[in-house]
Amino acid sequence: MNFDYTFHWRPVMRKLPDLLEASLTTLQISVLSMIIGITFGLILAILRMNGPKPLAWIATGWVELARNTPALFQLFFFSFGLGAFGLHLTPYFIVLAGLTFNNAGYLAENFRGGFQAVPETQMRAARSLGMTAWQSYTRIVIPQVFRIVYHPMTNQLVWAVLMSSLAMIVGFRELAGETQALAFKTFRIFEYFAVTALIYYVMVKVILGLSRLIAWRMFRY
Amino acid sequence: MNQSISFFSGFGPKDLWFLPQAAWQTLVISALSISTGTLLGILFGWILSESKIIGAVTLGLVLDAFRSVPLIIQLVLFYNLFNVIGLAINPFWAGVIILAVYTSALVANVARGGIEAVGAPMRRASRSLGMNYLQTIRHIVWPIGLRAVFPSWVGVALGVLKDSALVSVLGHPELLKVARDLITRTQQPLLVLAVAGAFYFALSYPISRYAAHLERKWQS
């Protein structure tokens, strides 16, 4: 074992603005995939609980596939798999679709747990106070569900940020992809990935800190 | 006439045999890293639960970093670190080591939760029965605490099984890497992806159902 490697941090520092810009892309695509994923997740959860049979089966299939196969496999499906049907998405949409598919599957289970945790009597109590079904849903049930799923949701956002690094493999240049492209140009692979790891760490910590702040502000009483 | 050699080839029965072999590789990598990672993780979790401040600022921070950085970045980073320090290591063992450390970071959190769930009165009771510290840990705290978090541990193990797909970035022929190579060569993406996906699903789904069943049973 001989140590004859000199670290060169300067090329990395010179490209730091590029990396930071790419990390904004990472944040953007993760947040977008979360927003669409939450919408789909809600629909999937409701369909699984009380949708018509065929739709409930499709929802169950989606959730189980998203949860029981690797995220990378799902990305491959959206790149090669859809390519077999002559549908060629751009790398951006491959990553967005893959992340959204995965997020929706995991979130659907969280939402289902949330809905089941709110007792049915809450709904009946709201209705007997004279609220309409819509009012009791939006003012009584949903806020309680939201409180239950808030923590799993922020966890899922963190997972989305970490998962978006798979974009490196399908050739989309968010933080990991950009790092790979730059690293293999200069062969300073270790240095580039070390800095990127640090950026991811800071991003995750900022997200968790902000979510804790929001939770403290929202769920104070 | 010069012969042309085609880069692509049809999909033969021989190609189908590659996938079970690759699935076996995935299984071996996962089994090795989950087992060593779990043992390490229980040890770390125990340390974290016993030494509140020192453990949290040293070991806790390091393990937290492993949970906050994408696994794919860790794989590339440490694989190159092995090269930097002049340690020739093949992708298989590099993948197993990094996955094991990653697993241990996740398991440490779970194990700590379980160990801390066993309350002080229980420990005091066992000490009053004349057991020493190690006996208390071995016969009281671990059996009760670790059993309580078993479903979460299964969740972690399943996550690692799926994350083992990322070892493909180091070039080891596990399931997803082989699937991708086969797709490039045979141009049969749907068939290959379906088979590869079915393997992952068949490994993961029964275990996840079992964990959900256990969780439901223990809750009531």
At A97, the pLDDT band (50, 70, 90 cuts) reads: very high
Q: Is A200 an interface residue toward B (CB < 8 Å)?
A: yes
* CA–CA distances in Å: residue A113 to residues A107, A133, A147, B206: 10, 21, 12, 20
Q: What is the per-residue pLDDT for B3?
A: 58
pLDDT band of A44, cuts 50, 70, 90:
very high
Q: What is the CATH number of domain B23-219?
A: 1.10.3720.10
Task: Please choose, from the candidates A181, A173, A104, A117, the residue with its C-alpha nearest in 3D space to the C-alpha of residue A143.
Answer: A117
Write the residue in B69, B176, B193 that is nearest to A197 by C-beta.
B69
Number of separate domains in chain A: 1
pLDDT band per the 50, 70, 90 thresholds, residue A206? very high
Asked if A151 and A142 count as a contact pair (C-beta separation under 8 A), the reply is: no
Whether the per-residue pLDDT at B16 is higher than 80: the answer is: no
A184 touches chain B (CB under 8 A): no
Specify the CATH number for the domain of residue A100. 1.10.3720.10
- Torsion, Cα of A15, A17, A18, A20 (10° steps): 120
Cα separation values, B23 from B26, B196, B202, B210, Å: 5, 8, 11, 21
Does residue A173 form part of some domain? yes
Give mean pLDDT, residues B164-179. Answer: 89
Per the domain annotation, does A85 fall within a domain?
Answer: yes
Task: Give A73's contacts in chain B (Cβ within 8 Å).
Answer: 165, 176, 193, 196-197, 200
When the pLDDT of each residue in chain B is averaged and rounded to a whole number, the result is 88
Of the two residues B200 and B171, the one the predictor is more confident about is: B200
Under 8 Å CB-to-CB from B32, ≥6 apart: which residues?
B96, B100
Residue B19's nearest CA partner among B134, B158, B183 is: B183
Q: How close is the nearest chain A Cα to the Cα of B51, in Å?
A: 23
Confidence band, pLDDT 50/70/90 cuts, at residue A50: confident
Tens-digit pLDDT profile for residues B43-69: 999 999 888 788 778 888 999 999 999
Nearest residue in chain A measured CA to CA from B87:
A1
The number of beta carbons lying within 10 Å of the beta carbon of residue B214 is: 14
- Work out the percent of chain B whose per-residue pLDDT is above 70: 94
Instruction: Report the percent of chain B where pLDDT is more than 90.
Output: 45
Q: What pLDDT is stored for residue B7 in this prediction?
A: 59
Structural domain boundaries, residue A65: 17-218
Residue A38 CB contacts under 8 Å (≥ 6 apart), including other chains: A103, A104, A107, A153
Tell me the domain boundaries of chain B.
23-219
Asked if B70's CB is within 8 angstroms of A68's CB, the reply is: no
Give domain status of residue A8, yes or no.
no
Nearest by CB to residue B77, choosing from A163, A193, A204, is: A193
Asked if the C-beta of A46 comes within 8 angstroms of chain B's C-beta atoms, the answer is: no
A2 is a domain residue:
no
CB nearest A83 (choices: B71, B189, B197) = B189
Whether A6 is in a domain gets the answer no
Instruction: Please give, rounded to a whole number of angstroms, the shortest distance from the CA of A130 to a CA of chain B.
Output: 35
| Tokens (6 digits) for A146 | 């939201």
ipTM of the complex: 0.87
Report CB contact under 8 Å: B71, A163.
Answer: no
Q: What is the pLDDT of residue A214?
A: 92
